[in-house]
Amino acid sequence: MNLYSNKQTWKIVLLIVALITVAASLWVSNSTVQKVSDRERLRAKQWADAIKKKAELVEFTNRAFQQLRGYERRKIKLYLDATMEISKVPLDLNCFPDYSFPTGIIEENTDIPVILVDDQNQISSYTNIDFDTADLRALYPGASKKELNKKYEDSLLILTTVWEKKNQPFRIEVVEGLTMTSFYTDTKRTIQLERERDSLITAFNNELINDSKLIPVVLMAKHKDSLIASNLPKDRTTEKKLKKTLHSLELVNEPIKISFGGDEVNLLYFDNSDELKQLQFFPYIQFLIIGLFIFIGYLLFSTFRKAEQNQVWAGMAKETAHQLGTPLSSLMAWIALLETQDIDQNIIAEMQKDIERLDTVSQRFSKIGSETQLIQSDIRVTIQGVMDYLRPRISQKVEMTTHFEEEPILVSHNKSLMEWVMENIIRNAVDAMESKGKLDVTVKTVPEHVYIEITDTGKGLLPKQFKSIFEPGYTTKKRGWGLGLSLVKRIVKEYHKGKVYVVHSEIGKGTTIRVSLPLK
């Protein structure tokens, strides 16, 4: 009992130590992963802030561009006002007005392209056009001057339709009944600035995709709800899956607002890096690995322990058989001598039975650790033989009964070892009844198995003892070694591929133990 209790105590202690070790390892790993996670998130925030600063630069450039376009529109309006002022007919023909101021305004326009068209859709005037008839001459070398002028005016009219889409033209009434439409476009400086702005935005978007520190990002136009840029796989940004992708990213990190000027507000959605996601699963992977090592280690040590136990059992059994051999031979010789003397033959016969029993026991021990030969025979005969042998050798106050089926029950078993099994179980049952009570042995067949049930009216067992009684070293007796039922389990399980277990037990009423053997 003490040996088994100490064994269980050590198991519990080692399990607690293992759990503490695993918990400490997981805590350290989880702490490290959390620190890396926080650092990764900080880097993501810093990167997003840097992107936001660059976006502010784009916003500033865009604002400067808008201001420049506003300035040019005011300038062209002033230019047209000056042109209209000069075009007016003086009220007093004798007093010619001073046009030096409007003329100066007109002359200052050296960069804004302007085309003036009358209400008959004829070119009235133009300025700051970056091509002339000389350029058309190269395209039409055989055309006359009149034809070139016509083509030039047609080209200017085409330009007005293009400019009108970009900048709203001005309509002015020069004189009553005569309306002029002034078409204009951006200056070369403005166009260059617009290209620089577009280039900056394009570079921003490219950097968003190519220099994102491996962080998955999606840039969306908030008002238009359209995709601007992303470094995610294309299958995640399709029209059907885009909303789902944005929702998943929003659950991980709150999107960052990025403005490019005016009402144009964009949202930057970003996810954790793949490395961070992998690190988040690291503690669980580590737990599985540690658990796997512990499990494999347990299996190895358990295998080694069982192998060592088998060797010890086999060695002890063979040594016992060897030690019994010498006195048995001597006793057999003494009995042969006694038979020649004038002694009661009944006494000699009983002594002969005990000698034969000792020889049987010796054979049993010699078979432990050796290859056991199983012979298919009637299990009822084997059990009845044990009952007949034990009946005169146990207390007469124990009532022994058997319940067998009428037909033979053929089971592959080793008769000598199975007798040992039954003898050990029955002796333990008699001890539990303190040599007074009822003992019943029932043999019945079920599909693919035969059940041998031994029921006593002894002290009974607690549920926690159902498995313990079959462990080596466990005993409830003051002088017991705890080896009998352990040997029973070994013989049934290892040699006969069966099972032995407690079916039912109740304190003060008794116990039922079942031996299950395969029929095939």
* Domains along the sequence of the chain with CATH: 372-518 (3.30.565.10)
Res 71 pLDDT > 50: yes
As separate numbers, helices (DSSP H) first and strands (DSSP E) second, the chain gives 12, 15
Res 91 pLDDT > 70: no
Q: What string of DSSP letters covers 480-505?
A: --S-HHHHHHHIIIIIT--EEEEEEE
pLDDT interval class at 435 (50, 70, 90): confident
pLDDT interval class at 185 (50, 70, 90): confident
Q: For residue 507, what are the contacts with CB-CB under 8 A and spacing of at least 6?
A: 459, 460, 461, 462
Q: Name the strand (E) or helix (H) holding 409.
A: none
Report pTM: 0.44
- Average pLDDT for 51-67: 74
CA distance 167 to 162: 9
Q: For residue 360, what are the contacts with CB-CB under 8 A and spacing of at least 6?
A: 416, 419
Res 201 pLDDT > 60: yes
Q: What pLDDT was estimated at residue 1? A: 46
The string of pLDDT tens digits covering residues 340-368 is 777 777 777 777 777 777 777 666 666 66
- Most confident range (mean pLDDT) of 168-182, 287-301, 358-372, 389-403 is 389-403
Res 15 pLDDT > 50: yes
Looking at 300-304, 488-492, 499-503, which range is the least confident one? 300-304
Res 211 pLDDT > 60: no
Q: What pLDDT was estimated at residue 402? A: 92
- Token pair for residue 71? 């300035």
b/e per residue 101-125 (b: at least 16 CB within 10 A)? ebeebbeebeebbbbbbeeeeebbe
Q: What pLDDT was estimated at residue 412? A: 93
Per the DSSP assignment, residues forming a β-bridge with 400 are 439
Res 452 pLDDT > 90: yes
pLDDT interval class at 413 (50, 70, 90): very high
Percent above pLDDT 90 for the chain: 14
Looking at 254-268, 368-382, 404-418, which range is the least confident one? 254-268
Average pLDDT of the residues of the chain = 79
HSE-CB at 224 with a 13 A cutoff on CA atoms is 10
